[in-house]
């Protein structure tokens, strides 16, 4: 009887090990495309501020390259860089390839039509404007590159920066400071907890893409750009502002509530 139970336990353990191994293997196989951002036969354009790797869609790649290289200089200088950093842009002819480079084989199966570009530390991945995907146009993809480049440069300064700050900076430096008071009525101001999230979907759902840049605008107007860059580097609110991050959050909320029409 005892022997019988022991055999049963052994069999269960073996089955569990097999299931676990298969799962691990699937995860490993899934992430194979992320091991290298380069695909076969990529060409490169080397610029003053960025390098662009591309597949076959050469004219779209050149267009992105010229735009990105000419716009990045002033942003990089504003962030305190006096020279080029190791920031590389990889442009893929198919949206599915781009999506696989961050999330693996499962990426294109997630149905994220709007997902056309991203950054992975100092690397930017982008879907070629020549085949922009269902949800976007040539120009959407082309101009999205600058937002991702800001993330890449910011990650040189602080690789572990909070989502709220890096998105705020990327939105502000690539798109400017446009904001309308009616957004507050339409979306509501993100809560303090929302501003602390590490989840990009929570960030998007709370209105992060509508509000995060105004946090940077508020800090810049009130405390000056040097303090903004110091915060990006250290995230030490007490040291930079002599205030807690909650106090700064409350100040920003008051600023938004008093926003002119």
Window contacting Zn ion (CB under 5 A); options: 12-20, 61-69, 94-102, 162-170: 162-170
Q: Is 154 in the site for Zn ion (CB under 5 A)?
A: no
Minimum gap (Å) between residue 257 Cβ and Zn ion: 26
**Cβ-based nearer residue to Zn ion, 37 or 154:** 154
CB atoms within 10 A of CB 10: 10
116 near Zn ion (CB under 5 A): no
Angle between helices 163-175 and 58-78 (to 10 degrees): 110
CA distance 201 to 199: 5
DSSP conformation class of 196: T
**Taking CB under 5 A as the rule, does residue 145 contact Zn ion?**
no
Rule CB under 5 A: is residue 170 a binding residue for Zn ion?
A: yes
Judged by CB under 5 A, the stretch of 18-26, 33-41, 84-92, 165-173 that binds Zn ion is 165-173
Q: What pairing do the DSSP bridges indicate for beta strands 88-92 and 123-127?
A: parallel
d(CA 152, CA 158): 10
Indicate whether 173 belongs to the interface with Zn ion (CB under 5 A).
no
Q: Would you count residue 161 as binding Zn ion (CB under 5 A)?
A: no
For the bound state, the minimum distance from the C-beta of residue 170 to Zn ion, rounded and expressed in Å, comes to 5
Backbone phi, then psi, for 86, in 5-degree steps?
A: -80, 65
Secondary structure letter of residue 33 according to DSSP: G
Of 55 and 167, nearer to Zn ion (C-beta) is 167
- By CB under 5 A, how many residues form the interface with Zn ion? 2
| Segments of 74-166 assigned E as strands | 88-92, 117-120, 123-127
The minimum distance between CB 243 and Zn ion, in angstroms, equals 26
Residues interacting with Zn ion, by CB under 5 A?
A: 167, 170
């Amino acid at each position: 009887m005892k022997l019988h139970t022991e055999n049963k336990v052994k069999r269960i353990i073996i089955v569990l090990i097999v299931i676990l191994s298969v799962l691990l293997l699937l995860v490993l196989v899934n992430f194979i495309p992320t091991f290298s951002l380069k695909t076969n036969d990529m060409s490169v354009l080397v610029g003053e501020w960025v390098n662009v790797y591309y597949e076959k869609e050469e004219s779209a790649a050149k267009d992105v390259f010229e735009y990105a290289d000419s716009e990045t200089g002033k942003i990089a200088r504003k962030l305190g860089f006096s020279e080029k950093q190791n920031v590389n842009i990889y442009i893929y002819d198919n949206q599915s390839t781009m999506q696989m480079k961050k999330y693996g084989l499962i990426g294109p199966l997630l149905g994220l039509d709007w997902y056309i570009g991203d950054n992975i530390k100092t690397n930017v991945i982008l879907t070629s404007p020549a085949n922009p995907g269902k949800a976007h146009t040539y120009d959407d993809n082309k101009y999205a590159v600058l937002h991702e480049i800001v993330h890449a440069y910011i990650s040189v300064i602080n690789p572990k920066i909070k989502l709220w700050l890096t998105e705020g900076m990327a939105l502000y430096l690539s798109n400017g400071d446009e904001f309308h008071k009616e957004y507050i009525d339409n979306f509501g101001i993100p809560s303090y907890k929302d501003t602390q999230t590490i989840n990009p979907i929570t960030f998007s759902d709370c209105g992060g893409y509508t509000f995060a840049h105004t946090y940077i605008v508020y800090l810049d107007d009130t405390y000056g750009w040097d303090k903004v860059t110091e915060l990006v580097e250290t995230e030490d609110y007490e040291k930079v502002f002599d205030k807690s991050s909650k106090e700064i959050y409350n100040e920003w909320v008051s600023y938004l509530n008093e926003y002119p029409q």
